Amino acid sequence: MTRQPHGLPPRSCARVAPWGERGSASIQMVILMPAMFAVMFLGMQAALIYHARTLAIASAQEGARAAGAENGTARAGISTARDYLTDTASDALTSTVVTGERTATTATVTVRGVALSVLPGWRPAISQSSSVTVERITR
């Protein structure tokens, strides 16, 4: 191998792309980038829905516990669930509706709302419910 005057090997050993492959990287990016963005946005949307469901079930559980307490009422359960949503889910779960019911044996609170969406035009509905046994003191 002959050395050039400055001591570096000649450039002829560098790989040169064949004439037919010119621009193939651009075509690959045009095809792959939308797929990569779709995977990224779907992953983000799944995380937002999971987070909204988690907040809704936690709120429903808090409300059901309050409604199922010995001196609890359905109104107390609904109020507790709304307070929990106000404290934790201000942006993750919107358009929330909280309903509750207390019978002689069970207390149930249901939380419905809409999760945030990164996909235009789609509003994923969330509905979570929790039931507990009503506390009773027996003697």
User: Does 42 reside within a domain?
Assistant: yes
What residues make up the domain containing 121? 28-133
Domain count across the chain: 1
Going by the DSSP 8-state scheme, the letter that residue 125 receives in this structure is E
User: Does 80 reside within a domain?
Assistant: yes
What's the pLDDT score for residue 10?
Answer: 59
What's the pLDDT score for residue 137?
Answer: 82
The Cα–Cα gap between 45 and 123 comes to: 11
The Cα–Cα gap between 23 and 29 comes to: 10
Residue 3 has pLDDT above 60, yes or no: no
Residue 1 has pLDDT above 60, yes or no: no
- Mean predicted lDDT score pLDDT of the chain: 86
User: Does 55 reside within a domain?
Assistant: yes
pLDDT digits (tens, 9 = 90+) for 28-81: 788 888 899 989 999 999 999 999 999 999 999 999 999 999 889 999 999 999
User: Does 2 reside within a domain?
Assistant: no
What's the pLDDT score for residue 40?
Answer: 93
pLDDT digits (tens, 9 = 90+) for 74-122: 999 999 999 999 998 778 898 999 999 999 999 999 999 999 998 888 8
Confidence (pTM): 0.74
The percent of residues above 90 in pLDDT, for the chain, comes to 58
